Structure 1
Amino acid sequence: MSTSTLLTDVAIIVLAAGAIWFGSGWLEEASDRLASHYGLPQVVQGAVIAAVGSSMPELATVVIAGLAGSLAIGVGGIVGSAIFNVLVIPGFAGLLTDDPIESNRTLVYKEAQFYMLAVSALLITFALGVIYYPAGDGLSGTITRPLALLPLALYGLYVFIQYQDTADHVPGDDESGNAVDPGRQWLRLAAGLAVILLAVHFLVEAVSSLGMIFGVPEFLLGVTIVAGATSLPDSLVSVRAARARRPVASLANVLGSNTFDLLVAIPIGILLVGEETIDFAMAVPMFGVLTTATIALFTVMRTDLTLSEREAVGLLGIYALFVGWVVLETLDVAVDLLPNA
């Protein structure tokens, strides 16, 4: 492969990431204004409205990668994005704000714990595929459409819980009555989504090309490059919310976005392609990292119900160790914990 092709792929990735950021700005602003217009509580704004909106790049990645026969890139992107979200986004938000980011018990004991349940549910779904639909030798299994419905059903429960919170919520004077044109905001949201879809299409093609050049498994490319690019919207939403003194919405977006990605985005990709073979031996170490990252975030959120600057640095340090480990595994320098890496 020529050097010009390599540079072209890198340039496409950079431009696609920029376009994702741009489109997500439209989408995030529109979803935030619509949530305020309809008088939704701050936790629901962050965990559902903003989270689903900022998760569109991950969903688009899974759909486009699945239709292109490279669903492993999409699945890897979801897992990597989840790790990025719980470590890097709160870390940056904590460093870019003057005061510690405040949490609350609802966020810790509902959103964080339901997200932990989402991680377990997806891992169990993968395990069921290995047990009942083994694919070849080793620990590979086929995730079928009926299995993909299991995490979707759990997300339905999550939405029902959020609906109950919304029904019980009485909006204050600062949450309703603002002059917002709903029709215009829905159009703005749709335009942002269109930009994201187009950018993700080119992003997946460029990443697949890089995988062929360097011989790197698609799952690992998804965990690193695709995850970082598609997590830009979540970063934008959470940092903006934190700087606007809406810390609960900032952290709720991280947890809600990850819950959506794991329970909706991956199953939708499988429903589209019909079935997908998952290398359980590759997935389990990554889910181990994701679980560790989630426990770390849960711990710092619960400690005094605030995220301090020192804790933010600690979260970023854990992510740096994760990226370093993946790079060393890919170069066959570290202990071989990832098969085929």
Structure 2
Amino acid sequence: MDVASVWIKFALCSALIAVAGPKLVKYGHRIAELTGLSSTWVGLSLLATATSLPELITGVSAVTVADAPNIAVGDALGSCIFNLLMLVLLDELSRTHPVYRRIEQGHILTAGFGVIMIGTVGAAILLNQAGLDGRVLHISLFTPFLILLYLVAMRASFDYQRRVTRPFAKEDVGAGLTLGQAARRYVAAASVVIAAGFWLPLIGVELAETMGWQTTFVGTLLIAASTSVPEFVVSLSALRIGAIDMAISNLLGSNLFDVLAIAIDDLVYGSGPLLSSVSGAHAVTAFAAVIMSGIFIVALLFRPDSRIRGTISWISLSLLMTYLFGAYVSFLLGE
């Protein structure tokens, strides 16, 4: 198989997601404006769902068509640590003060739920590695628990946002569009993301075979980076217009949705509990995401105001080192 052609297909698929992802955000933002939703709630629910759509579609495609469960789980958990890594970029672009001093402490609620949900996945992987794969038919007992946790997290966040109302960030996007027009364009952009997400794991399998890499590594690093492109674009756009809380809630909300995607993947995976069919190296990725979420919570409470030699804050450095460690272990232990 021609190495160049596989990389070209991977780049093309990533480009489709990169183009369609911001369109999802643009029209999702317009829908939110017309329906009167709050800024943080838009980031947590509507934008997080939209930008995480590639992870969901990629995961479903990976376990049904490509028969690559490692790519499905690696993509979801890899996206979680990649989303948290984006905090480092936002901090570097926030040159006046560390970004952790500019965001609301209410994000601790979402980050805390992320710790619980991602930690549950990591524990489930370890238990399955030890042969304790509790199931009902082909579905893991952890799956309904993860779905319930996601619903509780969304409800708790919604209730919190009702009590602490913040102004919606105004942005000249989709101006003049009616709700119906915005909804139709949102669906059109989502269709492109769905098609690209369906194709992506098939390319990932080809890439792993061509390069001689493990599917665990490919899913956790390459596929996860590709499907996280929409979050990346949204975060930069939000920082540019000063809607930093929308960017943060999008990243943290995407992590919750990515864990939900693992539960949905388990529902459609017919060969048994999904987490019993994947490499134990994914547990390291899950716990790296838990550690990074914990570091973020510490940052929101401590509010650091200094940088190491004026370049990077110790919070961002800690996030970066944890990400690199998780990626390295995934490469060493993956299957």
SS in 1 for 2:37: coil
Q: Which amino acid aligns with 1:294?
A: S
Q: Matched residues, percent identical? A: 21
Structure 2 unmatched runs, 5+: none
Q: Distance in 1 between matches of 2:252 and 2:225?
A: 17
Change over 3 Å in CA distance of 1:213–1:298 after alignment to 2: same
1:63-142 equivalences in 2 (<5 Å) = 63-68=60-65, 69-87=67-85, 89-100=86-97, 101=99, 102-108=102-108, 110-127=109-126, 129-130=128-129, 131-133=131-133
Name 1:232's counterpart in structure 2: 229
Cα deviation digits, residues 116-158 of structure 1 (max 9, x gap) = 11112223443554554389xxxxxx97254311100111111
Q: Which amino acid aligns with 2:246?
A: A
**1:54·1:257 contact (CA, 8 Å) conserved in 2?**
yes
**1:43·1:107 contact (CA, 8 Å) conserved in 2?**
no
**2:208·2:218 contact (CA, 8 Å) conserved in 1?**
yes
SS in 1 for 2:277: strand
Change over 3 Å in CA distance of 1:33–1:98 after alignment to 2: farther
Q: Does structure 1 residue 160 correspond to structure 2 residue 159?
A: no
Q: Distance in 1 between matches of 2:326 and 2:128?
A: 28
Q: Which amino acid aligns with 2:295?
A: A
**1:127·1:280 contact (CA, 8 Å) conserved in 2?**
no
Q: Does structure 1 residue 302 correspond to structure 2 residue 301?
A: yes
Q: Distance in 2 between matches of 1:221 and 1:173?
A: 38
Q: Does structure 1 residue 272 correspond to structure 2 residue 306?
A: no
Name 2:240's counterpart in structure 1: 243
Name 1:333's counterpart in structure 2: none
Point out the more displaced range, 300-309 or 218-227: 300-309
Q: Distance in 2 between matches of 1:299 and 1:291?
A: 12
Name 1:215's counterpart in structure 2: 212
| Corresponding residue pairs, total | 319
**2:84·2:319 contact (CA, 8 Å) conserved in 1?**
no
Change over 3 Å in CA distance of 1:297–1:307 after alignment to 2: farther
Q: Does structure 1 residue 52 correspond to structure 2 residue 49?
A: yes
The Cα of 1:13 is off from its aligned counterpart by 0.7
TM-score, with normalisation over the residues of structure 2?
0.84
Q: Distance in 1 between matches of 2:3 and 2:142?
A: 38
Q: Distance in 1 between matches of 2:304 and 2:163?
A: 24
Of 252, 263, 278, the match for 1:255:
252
The Cα of 1:339 is off from its aligned counterpart by 5.8
**2:78·2:221 contact (CA, 8 Å) conserved in 1?**
yes
**2:239·2:247 contact (CA, 8 Å) conserved in 1?**
yes
Name 1:334's counterpart in structure 2: none
Change over 3 Å in CA distance of 1:289–1:198 after alignment to 2: same
TM-score, with normalisation over the residues of structure 1?
0.83
Structure 1 unmatched runs, 5+: 136-141, 331-337
Q: Distance in 2 between matches of 1:230 and 1:192?
A: 15
Q: Distance in 2 between matches of 1:19 and 1:228?
A: 14
The Cα of 1:261 is off from its aligned counterpart by 0.5
Q: Distance in 2 between matches of 1:63 and 1:281?
A: 20
**1:19·1:195 contact (CA, 8 Å) conserved in 2?**
yes
Q: Distance in 2 between matches of 1:147 and 1:313?
A: 32
**1:96·1:243 contact (CA, 8 Å) conserved in 2?**
no
**1:62·1:74 contact (CA, 8 Å) conserved in 2?**
yes
**2:39·2:167 contact (CA, 8 Å) conserved in 1?**
no
Q: Distance in 1 between matches of 2:306 and 2:178?
A: 36
Q: Distance in 1 between matches of 2:312 and 2:168?
A: 36
Q: Which amino acid aligns with 1:314?
A: L
Q: Which amino acid aligns with 1:63?
A: V
Of 5, 13, 29, the match for 1:8:
5
Change over 3 Å in CA distance of 1:210–1:149 after alignment to 2: same
**2:285·2:327 contact (CA, 8 Å) conserved in 1?**
no
Q: Distance in 2 between matches of 1:74 and 1:133?
A: 18
Q: Distance in 2 between matches of 1:203 and 1:306?
A: 41
Point out the more displaced range, 296-305 or 123-132: 123-132
Q: Distance in 1 between matches of 2:181 and 2:122?
A: 40
Of 321, 324, 328, the match for 1:321:
324
Q: Distance in 2 between matches of 1:286 and 1:173?
A: 34
Change over 3 Å in CA distance of 1:165–1:41 after alignment to 2: farther
Point out the more displaced range, 221-230 or 38-47: 38-47
Cα deviation digits, residues 237-265 of structure 1 (max 9, x gap) = 11211221111111111111101101x11
The Cα of 1:168 is off from its aligned counterpart by 4.3
